[in-house]
């Protein structure tokens, strides 16, 4: 298992696209810290980039990677290796290399400029989002055999999480604004991993404003240890559940 | 010449007499090992102008001062009111109270008991360098003039809000000087009602349940160089005119109904050189008229300024707006406030003629500030891509935000304040 994971890990690290991802992300992070006149503004820009580009890259890249390594997977399946072992080492290899690329590119400037809880939060959120995206792309890859459909689905999924979900929620919020739906909105937003990450970052960087709006919802809910634990559970679920499903489908499949 | 000699003789006699009377103004010592052990006893025998020196110890008594004396503590002797009534009451002019610890007034939800009470008609009272602890109201000044309340440390451990009073409470006073006090944990730090021509300076007020400083119907007052932090609701200036608010710091007043400074129905004041940092709302202006706000720093607030529709003719000039979540928000479409030459860190314009003033006007009111004013729960969507897109669209074609709510001459560089 470790051997396969290592091969894939190194293969991805050597690829040009990962290198470009690494270079672009580190450049953008450095520049946003250097150009913005205050640290908190720099951190906000970086958080923006992380929430926008990391899921896109992880989703697209790993979906494409799985489709492209079909022959390699078929070859390995002809060896005496359990299907479950192969799938998990594939996951380890892909997610490990993408996380490393993210941590090396965005991590260094963040640690240099903001070595505190906020910096740590952004880094762990970036890592978690990478893991979630890779899990989802595994599910997409076993869901359809057609590569172009798979890629289309992953772009659609990214659009859904970053834009459409918020749009629907905002629409519902305005429609039902006469009812006490604050808590429900928070809960529904927390179901989207990107919104979940955004809320956590906002709680740190816009504290003053967050405490203003009907303080109850935010401080009594989002600021508590309960919500931290809930966020952790939800993120773990977002990593675990799609992966488990993909594993189940992969096991029952004929070849790939 | 003879007449002059006569005059000089009388004058010199007068002066020497007054010196003699000063010299004979005696020192009465109170304390263990001294002939008098109760302060009340000393107060009864004292003549006008006497000094009563209170030595270290705990005095279980309540004092009524009706002769002009100087009451001075050595090593902060404790006057303990035993949780009943007012601890020290002053009924006459020219009293000095200095170096005492005044503790444990009565606590009631019906009557306002206090540590020290200056009663109706007194003037020229000095309350300096005392410690007030566990009193319902710290110092209560009722209908008095020309008093100085300086360098006191006032705090309480009362937690029930019905029993808690204000640290310094002035009602219907004139020419007060409240300076250098250190106030913690009362209801209002300094409460002024019908107080005029007074100066409040260099006080440090924190962790009060309600307001750090509270003006009601008080005109022609100045407050400067004070520090107000972590108070339940910040500082409130209400129903007053001609108040100068200069060089104060409003820090860390956070919460659902919290603000650094509330300006409610006030007119013709100056708000200058202040620092508003890390407040939920820096300034909440509701019914402000003709105020001048300049050279202030607003940094890291949730909302730097909330301007309610009832505020008009206010001028914001040369302020720094740094790192606030929202710079300005309003619930109206007010066009009657003026913004000029402020520095906005969110300004993205250019300055081709290099005169330090941006060539494109700045619209400080963001779409989302307006939306969240009507639907507060929309704050949950702040900093999402969707909202960002909407914000950009609004910037190109303003539909929701009033288009003439702007700073026509935004500064390119931050002011060094």
The answer to whether A37 contacts B254, with C-beta atoms less than 8 Å apart, is no
Picking from B160-174, B180-194, B288-302, B320-334, which range would have the lowest pLDDT averaged per residue? B320-334
Q: Kindly report, residue by residue over A136-150, the tens digit of the pLDDT.
A: 999 999 989 899 999
Q: Kindly report, residue by residue over A177-214, the tens digit of the pLDDT.
A: 888 887 788 888 889 999 988 888 887 777 667 666 55
Q: Which of residues 75-134 of A touch B (CB under 8 A)?
A: none
C-alpha span between B125 and B89 (Å, rounded) = 12
Q: Which residue has the tokens 């309610």?
A: B308
Q: What is the pTM of this model?
A: 0.82
Taking residues B255-283, report their average pLDDT: 91
Selecting from B256, B279, B380 the residue whose C-beta is nearest the C-beta of A208 gives B279
pLDDT band at A164 (very low <50, low <70, confident <90, very high): very high
pLDDT of residue A9: 87
Taking residues B336-344, report their average pLDDT: 91
Residue A111's domain spans which residues? 2-252
Q: Kindly report, residue by residue over B228-253, the tens digit of the pLDDT.
A: 999 988 899 999 999 999 999 999 88
C-alpha span between A88 and A76 (Å, rounded) = 13
C-alpha span between B200 and B247 (Å, rounded) = 12
Q: Which residue of B has its CA nearest to A219?
A: B255
CATH H superfamily, domain B25-229: Single-stranded right-handed beta-helix, Pectin lyase-like (2.160.20.10)
State the distance between the two ends of chain B, measured CA to CA, in whole angstroms.
Answer: 64
pLDDT exceeds cutoff 60 at B401: yes
C-beta neighbour count of A160 within 10 angstroms: 15
Q: Kindly report, residue by residue over A88-139, the tens digit of the pLDDT.
A: 999 999 999 999 999 999 999 999 988 888 888 899 999 999 999 999 999 9
Taking residues B298-303, report their average pLDDT: 90
B231, B269, B223: which is closest to B250 by C-alpha? B231
The answer to whether A48 contacts B381, with C-beta atoms less than 8 Å apart, is no
pLDDT exceeds cutoff 80 at A224: no
Helix boundaries (H) for B30-182: 39-45
CA B370 to chain centre: 31
| Chain B residues inside the 8 Å CB shell of A159 | none
The answer to whether A211 contacts B325, with C-beta atoms less than 8 Å apart, is no
- Selected for mutation to probe chain B from A164, A209, A217 (highest B CB count within 10 Å) is A209
pLDDT band at B368 (very low <50, low <70, confident <90, very high): confident
Q: Identify the residue with better confidence: A224 or B134.
A: B134
pLDDT band at B76 (very low <50, low <70, confident <90, very high): very high
C-alpha span between A92 and B337 (Å, rounded) = 60
Q: What is the DSSP secondary-structure string of A198-256?
A: HHHHHHHHTHHHHHHTTTHHIIIIITSHHHHHHHHHHHHHHHHHHHHHHHHHHHHSS--
C-alpha span between A133 and A154 (Å, rounded) = 9
Task: Looking at the complex, report in whole angstroms how far the Cα of residue A213 sits from the nearest Cα belonging to chain B.
Answer: 6
B202, B298, B308, B317: which is closest to B263 by C-alpha? B308
Q: Which residue of A has its CA nearest to B251?
A: A208
CB B229 within 8 A of CB B208: no
Task: Looking at the complex, report in whole angstroms how far the Cα of residue A167 sits from the nearest Cα belonging to chain B.
Answer: 7
Tokens representing residue B313 in the block? 């003719």
Domain boundaries, chain B: 25-229, 233-365+402-417
Q: Report the relative pairing of strands B211-216 and B190-196 from DSSP bridges.
A: parallel
Q: How many folded domains does chain A comprise?
A: 1
Tokens representing residue B395 in the block? 């910037």
Tokens representing residue B142 in the block? 């009722």
pLDDT band at B62 (very low <50, low <70, confident <90, very high): very high
Tokens representing residue A206 in the block? 């816009």
| Chain A residues inside the 8 Å CB shell of B386 | 163, 166-167, 170
Q: Is A172 on the interface with B (CB under 8 A)?
A: no
């Amino acid at each position: 298992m470790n051997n396969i994971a290592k091969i894939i890990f190194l293969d991805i690290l050597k690829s040009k696209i990962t290198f470009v991802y690494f270079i672009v992300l580190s450049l953008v992070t450095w520049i946003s810290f250097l150009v913005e006149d205050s640290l908190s503004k720099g951190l906000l820009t970086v958080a923006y980039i992380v929430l926008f580009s990391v899921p896109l890259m992880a989703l697209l890249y790993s979906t494409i990677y799985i489709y492209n390594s079909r022959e390699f997977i078929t070859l390995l399946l002809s060896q005496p290796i359990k299907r479950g072992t192969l799938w998990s080492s594939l996951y380890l290899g892909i997610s490990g290399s993408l996380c490393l690329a993210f941590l090396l590119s965005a991590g260094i400037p963040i640690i240099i400029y903001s070595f505190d809880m906020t910096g740590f939060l952004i880094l762990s959120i970036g890592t978690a989002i990478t893991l979630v995206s890779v899990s989802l792309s595994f599910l997409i890859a076993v869901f359809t055999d057609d590569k172009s459909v798979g890629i289309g689905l992953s772009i659609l999924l990214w659009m859904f999480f970053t834009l459409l979900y918020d749009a629907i929620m905002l629409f519902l919020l305005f429609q039902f604004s006469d009812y006490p739906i604050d808590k429900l909105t928070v809960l529904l937003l927390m179901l989207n991993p990107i919104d979940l990450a955004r809320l956590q970052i906002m709680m740190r960087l816009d504290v003053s404003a967050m405490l203003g709006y009907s303080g109850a919802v935010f401080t009594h809910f989002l600021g508590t240890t309960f919500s931290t634990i809930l966020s952790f559970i939800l993120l773990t679920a977002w990593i675990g559940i799609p992966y488990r499903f993909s594993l189940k489908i992969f096991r029952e499949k004929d070849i790939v | 010449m003879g007449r002059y000699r006569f005059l000089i003789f009388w004058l010199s006699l007068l002066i020497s007499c007054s010196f003699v009377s000063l010299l004979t103004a005696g020192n009465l010592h109170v304390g263990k090992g001294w002939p008098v052990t109760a302060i009340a006893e000393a107060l009864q025998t004292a003549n006008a102008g006497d000094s009563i020196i209170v030595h270290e110890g705990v005095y279980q008594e309540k004092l009524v001062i009706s002769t002009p004396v100087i009451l001075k503590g050595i090593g902060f002797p404790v006057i303990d009111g035993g949780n009943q009534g007012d601890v020290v009451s002053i009924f006459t002019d020219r009293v000095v109270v200095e170096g005492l610890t005044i503790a444990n007034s009565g606590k009631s939800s019906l009557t306002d008991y206090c540590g020290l009470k200056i009663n109706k008609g007194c003037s020229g009272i000095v309350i300096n360098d005392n410690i007030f602890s566990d009193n319902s109201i710290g110092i209560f000044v009722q209908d008095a003039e020309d008093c100085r309340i300086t360098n006191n440390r006032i705090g309480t451990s009362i937690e029930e809000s019905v029993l808690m009073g204000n640290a310094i409470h002035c009602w219907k006073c004139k020419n007060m000087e409240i300076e250098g006090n250190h106030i913690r944990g009362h209801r209002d730090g300094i409460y002024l009602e019908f107080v005029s021509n007074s100066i409040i300076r260099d006080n440090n007020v924190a962790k009060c349940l309600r307001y750090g400083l509270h003006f009601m119907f008080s005109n022609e007052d100045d407050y400067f160089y004070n520090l107000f932090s972590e108070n339940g609701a910040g500082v409130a200036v209400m129903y007053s005119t001609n108040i100068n608010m200069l060089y104060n710091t409003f820090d860390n007043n956070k919460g659902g109904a919290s603000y650094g400074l509330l300006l409610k129905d006030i007119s013709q004041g100056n708000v200058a050189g202040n620092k508003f940092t890390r407040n939920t709302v820096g300034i909440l202006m509701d019914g402000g008229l003709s105020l001048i706000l300049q050279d202030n720093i607003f940094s890291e607030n949730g909302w730097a300024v909330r301007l309610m529709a009832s505020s008009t003719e206010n001028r914001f000039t040369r302020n720094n707006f740094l790192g606030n979540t929202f710079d300005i928000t309003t619930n109206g479409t007010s066009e009657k406030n003026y913004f000029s030459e402020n520095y906005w860190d969110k300004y993205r314009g250019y300055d081709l003629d290099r005169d330090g003033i941006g060539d494109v006007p700045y619209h400080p009111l963001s779409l989302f500030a307006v939306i969240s004013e009507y639907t507060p729960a929309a704050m949950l969507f702040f900093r999402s891509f969707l909202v960002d897109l909407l914000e950009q669209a609004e910037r190109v074609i303003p539909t929701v935000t009033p288009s003439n709510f702007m700073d026509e001459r935004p500064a390119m560089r931050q002011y060094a304040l």
